[in-house]
Structure 1
Amino acid sequence: MSLLQHWLESLDYDYQILPTCTHVQSPRSSCRECIDHCPEQAIFFKDGKPFIDTVKCTQCSHCIVACPVQAVEGFLPKRTVENNRLIVSNKDVISLKELLVYYQKQVTTIVFKDEDASAEWQEMIKSANESLCELGEAAFTIQFDKAVEETEQTMTRKELFSFWKKDVKNIAKEMAPAKWRFNQESLNLIKYYPDHQFIDFSLNTSACTLCKACEILCPKACIHLTDTHFTVAPEQCSNCSLCEDICPEQAISITSKISPVTQVNYWIRENACVSCEENFKTLDEDEHMCHACRKKKEFLFMQ
């Protein structure tokens, strides 16, 4: 083992929430994925932002996997991978996202060290295989081998780091010592299945005012507005729901759904306002009053 590897193994670290967290980007974010998936209740809100209690945290990695924008930094726990086979036990059920990522890294067989799979594992495998079917992939191969032993090939922190991002020495040239972390971006599921999208995007064109808040705050840069089009790249969306949360008109709806990539494109029109007679942009061809005049009319009606 090189001095670099010894040094890497000796580093201590704590999980932490990065500034890319949707709650840091906007107080209107409703995301609770890290909190809801933490078995130790080690994540809490303070001043509207999530923090990790490092005393309670057991570094189980559930929060890292759950975060839709990869805003939790830390290492995943060790896994055993031998000859493209993932060795597991009923004690630790691996998440759907992690299984789908492993699958694209050619780990297509799950081997149980137990006589059978627990009900929780059976449900997870069922979900994974259903997702793989929707993604046009074959199902996981399931094997049972009580005699299988964890050998030197068990993935330690160093080995797991190398599994996800192989050239450690090149990384060392680019990163300061304080930055040694598991690359949580490797859990960005959408990049492993570029021909599919994991969400369905719906826009109420009558309600949208083209304010561009969704475009500005989208962590994955899925939404683009030009003078003539409102376009969405759904294959880039990781379902953080921030656009849905911050839309002042509640015009956006995001639902989980796997399907082949379908670009979303809305035509932006320019109409003349019947009230102020100024031209304005709209997605609704039947709208003939600008947003400002419409709001003024609603306000006067309420008085």
Structure 2
Amino acid sequence: MRKHFPRHDCQACVAACPVQAITATACTPTINELDCLQCGRCLFVCPTDALQNIRPETRRYTASTLVAPFSTLEPSVGELLMWHQQHGIRAVEMEMDAFPGWVRAVATLNIRLRALNAPVWQILPPPPKAINTGRRHFIKASETDVQSATVRTGRRARRQAFSAISEYQLAMDKTQCTACGACARVCVEKALSLSEGALTFSSSSCTGCNSCAVVCPVDAVRIEKQISENRLQRFSWIQKSCRCCQRAFYTFDPETERCAMCQRHQYGMREA
């Protein structure tokens, strides 16, 4: 996005990096491989899946519970949401005092899950180790049911996983919009589209990349982070003929008589 749109200021990966290994330049972010922890947090916030050569953490689980060993750095909420939906995880089995970061992550996750009307997670204590008093040694618990896996990354994957709920909504100032259609043409997710006589926004597809707001020449659109049920917004416009240049144009205001170009030229320059 930063490469194609010079005005774009997306810093999702920069903000997610716990060690500031990513810096955003004028054209593209740069990753310092010496500082990078390969934690994968940046993968879960990128709206366009632009990051490569980084993999999410492989974690172990049994049934619906994440089990040890745990990473020293706690996972992001974005990753835990994918574990919730992709593998049906509903609990973490660990000593709370030993992993305070994980406790905070689960607490933050539960706040998000309540907003999504989804079941929350629990933190379960590890089962006590059985002792064979006859042989005087610990018996290892069976690991036949323990599996290892990763989850899908990126906001696109999260949109597909939680298809009934949207994370972003479009706000439009119809008094400023010139109905040029630039926002729909740059939307790679096809959340914005031009249909006959209207601009349509599907919140289920939006990843919050904000490219539509960046290219809008009059700052009439913006993407707001808001969790709600998916909905289809339709902004109908009117086709008219410009009083000055006689060309067809679109507007939301039935009282408008001149196209956006003629409105920007004072003293009737285009009429001449």
Percent identical across equivalent pairs?
21
1:65 corresponds to: 44
User: What are the Cα deviations for residues 89-111 of structure 1, in whole angstroms up to 9, with x where unaligned?
Assistant: 58322111111111112111122
List aligned pairs for 1:31-70, cutoff 5 A.
31-70=10-49
Provide the TM-score with structure 1 as the length reference. Answer: 0.74
Opposite residue 228 of structure 2, the aligned amino acid is S
Opposite residue 110 of structure 2, the aligned amino acid is N
2:63 corresponds to: 83
Tell me how far apart the structure 2 counterparts of residues 298 and 94 of structure 1 sit (CA, whole Å).
61
Q: CA RMSD in A?
A: 2.8
Opposite residue 210 of structure 1, the aligned amino acid is A
Does 1:246 pair with 2:215? yes
Q: CA deviation at 1:53?
A: 2.1
1:145 corresponds to: 126
Does 1:111 pair with 2:93? yes
Q: CA deviation at 1:150?
A: 11
Equivalenced residue count is: 254
Higher CA-based Rg: 2
CA distance change for structure 1 residues 255 and 227 in 2, over 3 Å: closer, same or farther? same
Q: CA deviation at 1:44?
A: 2.3
User: What are the Cα deviations for residues 55-101 of structure 1, in whole angstroms up to 9, with x where unaligned?
Assistant: 22221112112212221122112212122212365832211111111
Equivalent of 1:205 in 166, 169, 174: 174
Confirm or deny: 8 A CA contact 2:249 2:259 kept in the other structure.
Answer: yes
Matched position secondary structure for 2:96: coil
List aligned pairs for 1:271-290, cutoff 5 A.
271-290=240-259
CA distance change for structure 1 residues 78 and 235 in 2, over 3 Å: closer, same or farther? same
Flag structure 2 segments of 5+ consecutive residues without an equivalent.
130-140
Tell me how far apart the structure 1 counterparts of residues 107 and 268 of structure 2 sit (CA, whole Å).
53
Confirm or deny: 8 A CA contact 1:96 1:124 kept in the other structure.
Answer: yes
Flag structure 1 segments of 5+ consecutive residues without an equivalent.
1-21, 165-182
List aligned pairs for 1:199-278, cutoff 5 A.
199-278=168-247
Opposite residue 191 of structure 2, the aligned amino acid is C
Q: CA deviation at 1:47?
A: 4.4
Equivalent of 1:130 in 108, 111, 114: 111
Q: CA deviation at 1:29?
A: 1.3
Tell me how far apart the structure 2 counterparts of residues 101 and 123 of structure 1 sit (CA, whole Å).
17
Q: CA deviation at 1:36?
A: 1.6
Tell me how far apart the structure 2 counterparts of residues 188 and 299 of structure 1 sit (CA, whole Å).
51
Matched position secondary structure for 1:94: coil
- Name the one with the larger helix percent: 1
